[in-house]
């Protein structure tokens, strides 16, 4: 086989229309995520969450997820 024929054999699978089309990914199943809400926590002194006393006198309501 000559050199031109060898190149044709190597390039033919690459140039075929089936190889040029990307494969379609299957649609993934629907995903559902759930979070249980167990209420809220009212923190009257946020300084207990900081070792550098970054929140003097501040209050905050935090979410209590189960």
Domain positions in the chain are 36-66
Write out pLDDT tens, residues 7-58: 545 555 555 555 556 677 788 878 888 888 889 999 999 988 889 989 888 9
Q: Does the pTM of the predicted model rise above 0.75? A: no
Residue 30 to residues 19, 23, 24, 33, 37: CA-CA distances in angstroms? 30, 21, 18, 10, 23
- The enclosing H or E element of 57 equals none
């Amino acid at each position: 086989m000559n050199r031109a024929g060898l190149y044709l054999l190597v390039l033919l699978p690459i140039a075929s229309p089936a190889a040029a089309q990307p494969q379609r990914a299957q649609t993934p199943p629907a995903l559902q995520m759930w979070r249980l809400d167990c209420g809220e926590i009212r923190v009257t002194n946020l300084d207990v969450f900081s070792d550098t006393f970054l929140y003097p006198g501040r209050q905050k309501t935090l979410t209590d997820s189960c």
